[in-house]
Amino acid sequence: MAYTIQQLAALAGVSTRTLRYYDTIGLLPAQRNSTNDYREYTTVQVDRLQRILFLRLFGVPLATIQKILDAPLATQQAALLDQRQRILAERDRLDHLLTTLDKTLKRGGNHMSDTEKFAAFKEKQIKENDVQFGSEIREKYGEEKVSAANKQYAGLSEADYNAMQDTESKMLTLLKAVIQSGQIDSPEAQQVFSLHKAWLQFTWPTYSTEAHKGLAQMYTADPRFGQYYAAKTGSDKAASVLAAIIEKYAV
């Protein structure tokens, strides 16, 4: 069966503009009707669109999706299995969020532990971080380590959560000073490293210098990390300076 672009858009719940864009960039090439040259889509394109939408669900970049779908079937299957695990994790997150909300409604917000009070807030942050950086972090560290880190973060008490935020704040203040001085061979830079390490250890079940350096590489390779640290410090150099500090002192 062949679908027009309007029919496929309605079937998949996407806009015709999106389908045209996918066609233009080669992500979902349409066939052309021999009579009127209109776009049309067969079962092959429908199957490919389904995979695209699954992968987009958690913010996988379009360029990455194209590489996956143009790869051998085994690679595609592995990517879809990864998405399945993430959907299951999201379901568990929502179940936990509902449980917390039910407790709040039942108790009127009273007599709840610090962990329970902050559970919904922390779950929201986990979700936002996963949408923004999840694909890249999982590719580098694997689903097991990412899930363990998220679980540890979700279990932080109010005191630990506040300590984590305070640690990052102190680290950023010192990072600004290092950026201004231009000296990463300094006591301030060493403190930046120590504070960044301590900040990570709030959520990392186990710490290693290799993983720390791997994160530093992501800071320079992915512009989103650059944007995050630029917003926090007011300097476009922040991510690269922090990465250089980590590379120097993570030994």
Please tell me the predicted confidence (pLDDT) of residue 168. 95
Please tell me the predicted confidence (pLDDT) of residue 248. 97
Of 62, 56, 113, the closest CA to residue 86 belongs to 56
Whether the domain at 3-56 and the domain at 158-249 fall into the same CATH topology: no
Q: Do the bridges between strand 31-32 and strand 3-4 make them parallel or antiparallel, or are there none, so unpaired?
A: unpaired
Please tell me the predicted confidence (pLDDT) of residue 107. 64
Q: What is the pLDDT along the chain (251 residues), one digit of tens a residue?
A: 789 999 999 998 889 999 999 999 999 999 898 888 889 999 999 999 998 998 887 777 888 889 888 888 888 888 788 778 777 877 877 777 777 777 777 766 555 565 566 666 676 677 767 766 777 677 777 777 888 887 888 777 778 888 999 999 999 999 999 999 999 999 999 999 999 999 999 988 889 999 999 899 989 888 888 888 999 999 999 999 999 999 999 98
Of 182, 186, 187, 192, the closest CA to residue 216 belongs to 192
CATH number corresponding to 158-249: 1.10.490
- pLDDT tens by residue, 12-25: 888 999 999 999 99
**Residue ranges of domains in the chain:** 3-56, 80-154, 158-249
Please tell me the predicted confidence (pLDDT) of residue 249. 97
- pLDDT tens by residue, 64-108: 889 888 888 888 888 788 778 777 877 877 777 777 777 777 766
CATH number corresponding to 3-56: 1.10.1660.10
Please tell me the predicted confidence (pLDDT) of residue 166. 95
Site of tokens 């350096």: 213
Secondary structure string (H, E, C) spanning the chain: CCEEHHHHHHHHCCCHHHHHHHHHCCCCCCEECCCCCCEEECHHHHHHHHHHHHHHCCCCCHHHHHHHHCCCHHHHHHHHHHHHHHHHHHHHHHHHHHHHHHHHHHHCCCCCCHHHHHHHHHHHHHHHHHHHHHHHHHHHHCHHHHHHHHHHHHCCCHHHHHHHHHHHHHHHHHHHHHHHHCCCCCHHHHHHHHHHHHHHHCCCCCCCHHHHHHHHHHHHHCHHHHHHHHHHHCCCCHHHHHHHHHHHHCC
